[in-house]
Amino acid sequence: MNRRQVIGSIAGTLLAASWRSAQAATSGGTKIVLLGTAGGPSPKVSRAAPASMVVAGGSLYVVDCGNGIARQIVRSGYQLKALRSIFITHQHSDHNLDYGNLFYLAWSAALRNPVNSYGPPPLVEMTKKYFELNSFDINLRIHDEGRPDPAPLLIPHEITGPGQVFKDDNVTVRAVLVDHPPIKVAFAYRFDAADRSVVFSGDTRKTDSLIELARGADVLVCEAQHLPGIRGLAKRLAADPSREQAIYDSISGNALSVEQAGEVAEAAGVKTLVLNHFVPGDDTVPEDVWRESAAKAFSGEIIVGKDLLEI
């Protein structure tokens, strides 16, 4: 990319961001924004780590905090200081690595309201240790820049079972336990707003609890694995060929294939299936293959997710 192309690209990104901001400010409807759509913690060129958000009533409700989420929110045209709540589906690093960083960067971007966070243990311990880890810089900014103490502003709530998790004027959030071994406490979340309902699968094997949660929802944002693609991934990851099958089993055995994502969407009767959390997440599997694989079982609308896509 030459200098002129770089400037053009930056200008395009800024225009897109300001257009989205203006659109969000003027349209009152609930939005879903995909912030990061690749499964797994290792950084990818074209997709960030798992993170999404629901935007309702001008507030941001984040689901999972993969690496880079704060920057992805800024790139999507929304303001970090609008952050209201954080929901962690499970404590795998691709879903929680920037949990503290998201709050911290929102605080440094003039966040003043409390943020409640919800997720499996050890969320409370993680929150406490995050502030300990960053105490040097926190103290500096409190005294140097006159910022409030951030620790009381992030309020963690550990959840261990199904039920209603959260309710405010904009959304009601419910959780169910899903099946994501070897992790014992992993959740899918459903957001019901006045104008639409959306379910985030988190990571899970095919399970009735997810189908029940998603029953009749407008949108299901569902993880998707492409099994032949994972064969290739296992080959690339295995330092020793004898490890290839074990790597394949470990990646493919605890989550939904893209075909199963279609089966779940069909069984639940959702209107729109949004494929997300792609594994492989490096774009070695073409978009049409993702769509056609989900369409084997699902007759509704299918959207192949992309970072920064607003739905």
Residue 94 a catalytic site member: yes
Q: Which of residues 75-94 bind Zn ion (CB under 5 A)?
A: 92
Least CB distance from residue 119 to Zn ion, whole Å?
13
Closest contact distance (angstroms) between CB of 90 and Zn ion is: 6
31 versus 92: smaller Cβ distance to Zn ion: 92
Q: Taking the CB of residue 141, how many other CB atoms lie within 10 A of it?
A: 17
Closest CA to 148 of 202, 110, 100: 110
The DSSP bridge partners found for residue 189 are 175, 200
Q: Toward Zn ion, which CB reaches closer, 92 or 190?
A: 92
Q: How far is the CB of 227 from Zn ion (least distance, A)?
A: 17
Q: Which is nearer to Zn ion, 163 or 253 (CB)?
A: 253
Q: Is the CB of 85 or the CB of 96 nearer to Zn ion?
A: 96
Per annotation, catalytic residue among 94, 98, 203, 282: 94
Best CA proximity match to 61, nearest among 163, 152, 160, 189: 189
Task: Tell me the per-residue interface mask from 190 to 229 with Zn ion, x by CB under 5 A, - otherwise.
Answer: -------------x--------------------------
> Residues touching Zn ion: how many (CB under 5 A)?
2
Query: Closer CB to Zn ion, residue 171 or residue 176?
Result: 176
The span from the first CA to the last CA of the chain, in angstroms, equals 30
Instruction: Please report how close the Cβ of residue 203 comes to Zn ion at its closest, in angstroms.
Output: 4
Provide, rounded to whole angstroms, the least separation between the CB of residue 88 and Zn ion: 11
**Shortest Å distance, C-beta 295 to Zn ion:** 25
Q: Of 203 and 266, which has the nearer Cβ to Zn ion?
A: 203
Nearest to 33 by CA among 94, 101, 83, 89: 83
Q: Rule CB under 5 A: say whether 179 interacts with Zn ion.
A: no
φ and ψ at residue 206, rounded to 5 degrees: -65, 125
Query: b/e per residue, 145-163, with b = 16+ CB within 10 A?
Result: eebeebbebbebebbeebe
Q: Which residues are catalytic?
A: 94
| Chain residues in the site for Zn ion (CB under 5 A) | 92, 203
